[in-house]
Amino acid sequence: MFVTKLSDSELIILLKDDNHAAYAELYQRYYRLLFMHAYKRSKDQEQAKDIVQEFFVSLWDKRRSVALQSNLAGYFFTAINNRIVDHFLHQEVQSKYIASFAGFLNTEQTKTDYLVREKQLSELIEKEIQQLPPKMREVFELSRKENLSHKEISEKLSISEKTVDRQISNALFRLKTRFGIFTFLLFLINS
């Protein structure tokens, strides 16, 4: 049987019966037209080939459920248009996802870097605090770590408030001298 002489409707009927020759004839009749249409819309030759190839693979996979169309060419072109739209929508979603992910990576990397540096700085400052004279360190830690007032510290340690003031001032002076005012202020703000 020469399938080239059959109408589109007759080819669809044969296609539904798993006729490879009918499928090949539909491919021969429509591939070039569908490719040109897809290329015109997508402006990408490889993408146009992929879209048309995927359409024909899908046509074969769904051959038994293809509804007989009075205008098979219209059905094919509509299917290609839908695939092109899906491609562009997918590309847009993919671009947004990639941009969002890149932003997330940059934010997370910056946040991670900051946290690592903050931890290192805190460890250095803590090391310096541990090197303060014992009484000065105790007063400083009660003030900065336990947030006690000067009066509360003086009562707790049985020393004058003036001594507490002097001990804290001396501790701050040593730490500022060691780390610089800016770095130390950052520590005080974050603790």
Flag whether pLDDT at 66 surpasses 90.
no
Task: Please return the burial class of 114, using the count of CB atoms within 10 Å of its CB with bins 0-12, 13-18 and 19+.
Answer: exposed
Give the global pTM: 0.47
pLDDT confidence of residue 102: 65
The tens digit of pLDDT for each residue in 73-107 reads: 888 888 888 888 888 777 776 666 667 666 665 66
Flag whether pLDDT at 165 surpasses 60.
yes
pLDDT confidence of residue 34: 92
Closest CA to 173 of 162, 184, 163: 184
pLDDT confidence of residue 181: 54
Average of per-residue pLDDT across 22-46 = 90
pLDDT confidence of residue 3: 65
Please state, in angstroms and rounded to a whole number, the distance separating the CA atoms of residues 51 and 42. Answer: 10
pLDDT confidence of residue 128: 80
**Whole-number CA gyration radius for the chain:** 38
Band of pLDDT at residue 28, cut at 50, 70 and 90: very high
Domains and CATH numbers, the chain: 3-96 (1.10.1740.10), 131-190 (1.10.10)
Pick 95 or 150 by higher pLDDT: 150
Percentage, residues of the chain above pLDDT 90: 15
The tens digit of pLDDT for each residue in 123-137 reads: 777 888 888 888 888
> DSSP states of 8-44 as a string?
HHHHHHHHHTT-HHHHHHHHHHHHHHHHHHHHHHH--
